[in-house]
Amino acid sequence: MSDALIGIEGISKRFQTLEVLRGVDLDVNRGESIVIIGQSGCGKSVLLKHLVRLLEPDEGAVTFDGVDISSLTGRRLIEMRRRYGMLFQSAALFDSLTVAENVGLGLTEERLHSKTEIDSIVREKLDMVGLTDARDKNPSELSGGMRKRVGLARAIAGNPEVLLYDEPTTGLDPITADMINDMIVDLHQKLNVTSIAVTHDMTSAFKIADRIVMLYDGRVEFDGSPDEVRNTSNEVVRQFITGSAVGPIQVR
């Protein structure tokens, strides 16, 4: 077993007749900022959800800190999940709660902090994403970019060791997307976390990654630094990063 923080060992996943992942192997080291790229529908988000066991692989295993997460149940599974923070594609804010309640929900349910402490943590995290004044708003009153920032504040509220980003810039205008990218880079440095993002936005990928992994045909097609991606002769990667409709990747 490797000493990676997260180990993905030959995982396969099928939904009815659709085989999404076909033996993905990937190690993520502590402190890395990895971006997983690939076509829409290639299984990037599916892979991400396996890390916190929102999905279970049909074959293979996911390890976290040396432990096979499929062996975790009850309290230990909850504790493993609390070491992660996750920003969902649609931000997945709880409609019935205010911004502050959304950010503080994990802490409230953890029952380790007083209400005053939670208020103070929520204020601090909302400050970090520049949304101090939005604490009493409902999610429906927020723009797409603001929702992502609240989602980000919620993801970091419990001081996680690993941050997962599912398409963090999808659906945002280029300026807001760049602001989210800056925040991801900033949080990665300030919080000293391991970051894993999935995206098909190459501007975002080059900005936040110190390692880029490309998924293609259910497997890891390429694994290297941003510079290696830019200079690669791999035709699949080249087609993807240049956004060409002509090449080995067939549009489904």
For another protein, the closer of residues 74 and 243 by Cβ is 74
Q: How far is the CB of 70 from another protein (least distance, A)?
A: 15
Say if CB 184 and CB 148 are below 8 A apart: no
Residue 214: both structure tokens together = 């490309």
Give the neighbor-by-neighbor strand order of the sheet with 211-216. Answer: 84-87, 162-166, 194-199, 33-37, 211-216, 219-224
Window of 25-33, 75-83, 177-185, 236-244 that interacts with another protein by CB under 8 A: 75-83
Number of residues located near another protein, criterion CB under 8 A: 25
Q: Residue 109 — left, alpha, or beta (φ > 0 → left; ψ -120 to 50 → alpha)?
A: alpha
| 88-147 binders of another protein (CB under 8 A) | 88-90, 92-95, 105-106, 109-111
SS3 252: coil
Alpha-carbon separation of residue 234 from 22, 24, 203, 206, 221 (angstroms): 20, 18, 19, 17, 9
Candidates 86, 131, 184, 197: give the one binding another protein (CB under 8 A): 86
For another protein, the closer of residues 67 and 78 by Cβ is 78
Site membership for another protein, residue 193 (CB under 8 A): no
For another protein, the closer of residues 95 and 133 by Cβ is 95
Which residues contribute to the site for another protein (CB under 8 A)? 49, 52, 54, 77-79, 81-82, 84, 86, 88-90, 92-95, 105-106, 109-111, 154, 158, 164
